[in-house]
Amino acid sequence: MSERALRGTRLGATSYETDRGIDLAPRQTVEYACQNGHRFEVPFSVEAEIPSIWECRFCGQEAVLLDGDEPEEKKTKPTRTHWDMLMERRTREELEEVLAERLAVLRSGGMNLAVHPRDTRKSA
């Protein structure tokens, strides 16, 4: 009998519930504008924290909240160079000492430049 009652319906495709008697959460509408001149509104809950930047629904650019605070600049770290990282590990005096040692090895001929310094095989 239950088979006949569900005949012709698409289970899961449609909802048989109604919105009658349901109180929706209080909402507020916020307006955003992008650089291309698109203006659009987004509904938020009254309790929600409103983001200052939202993706434009027309072009995908960043849209800014109208009548709101300017978005905060993200703190970025300055790029560290090889020299900066080297100076974190050694002092200038230590570097000058290492340089003097390596120059002495080069000048004495103790380093064969024809063979890669990391090559562990003995040259014939």
* Numbered residues of the known binding site for Zn(2+): 34, 38, 56, 59
SS3 content of the chain, % helix, strand, coil (to 5): 25, 20, 60
Q: Cβ of 47: how many Cβ atoms within 10 Å?
A: 9
Question: In angstroms, rounded to a whole number, what is the distance separating the alpha carbons of residues 84 and 98?
Answer: 17
Annotated binding site: 34, 38, 56, 59
